[in-house]
Amino acid sequence: MASLASRLADFAAAVRDKLNTMTPRLVPAGGTTGQVLTKASNANYDDVWTDPGSGWTYLRLTAAVTSTSTTAAAVSGLALTPLANADYEIEGKFLVMSAATTTGVKLGLNIPSGLTDSAFSITEALTATTESILYAPGGATAVSNANGGTPTANVSYLATMAGIMRVGATVSGALAVTLATEVLLSTVTLKPGSFLRYRRIA
């Protein structure tokens, strides 16, 4: 017959195993007052906090991302992996900064393959009163807005992004925000507080 110590050890192990099973199913950390829990995908336990009634899922940048390369690179944390046969509305607002007025911030998108249709626009400040706008039509796979400069160095400016994405039966890749500089080795920054948000509309 097992000793009391042995039975207690078995019981503790069983409790530990049960807790390990339950941990992935706990409510995710974060969220703000008034937000509700929303399914982020069809996968089990893939839940995120969203504003009630809006249906939006927010991807927020919590740390600055810089680039001194003229080659666009995806920004970690600002990417949507779409579901097949779904339509999405997409919006983004970004705090961008350049180290020099002659260096433009090349904000862009990597666009997944397998879409039935899509269209995007990216808007950035060019001067104190004008903007540069990039329109990415259906069929585009990777785009970057070349805006030629920024009104004032080392201060934040607002860049915006909007789009509609219609996904086919077979989709590959993610919709990802990208960043590059227009002048090699001249620093551009995508700042905390920037966000991409999306919601499924069909």
Phi first, then psi: give them for residue 21, nearest 5 degrees.
Answer: -70, -35
pTM: 0.75
Domain 56-200 adopts which CATH fold? Jelly Rolls (2.60.120)
Q: How many CB atoms lie within 10 A of CB 143?
A: 21
Tell me which H or E stretch contains 6. Answer: helix 4-22
Q: How many CB atoms lie within 10 A of CB 163?
A: 19
Domain ranges for the chain, please list them.
56-200
Task: Spell out the per-residue pLDDT of the chain, length 202, in tens.
Answer: 567 777 777 777 877 777 676 555 667 777 777 677 777 666 777 777 776 656 899 999 999 999 999 999 999 999 999 999 999 999 999 999 999 999 999 999 999 999 999 999 999 999 989 999 999 999 889 999 887 889 999 999 999 999 999 999 999 999 999 999 999 999 999 999 999 999 998 8
Strand segments (E) across 126-194: 131-136, 142-144, 157-172, 175-181, 188-190
Token reading at 154: 């080392």
Helix, strand, or coil (residue 167): strand
Q: How many CB atoms lie within 10 A of CB 130?
A: 10
Q: How far apart are CA 188 and CA 74, in angstroms?
A: 14
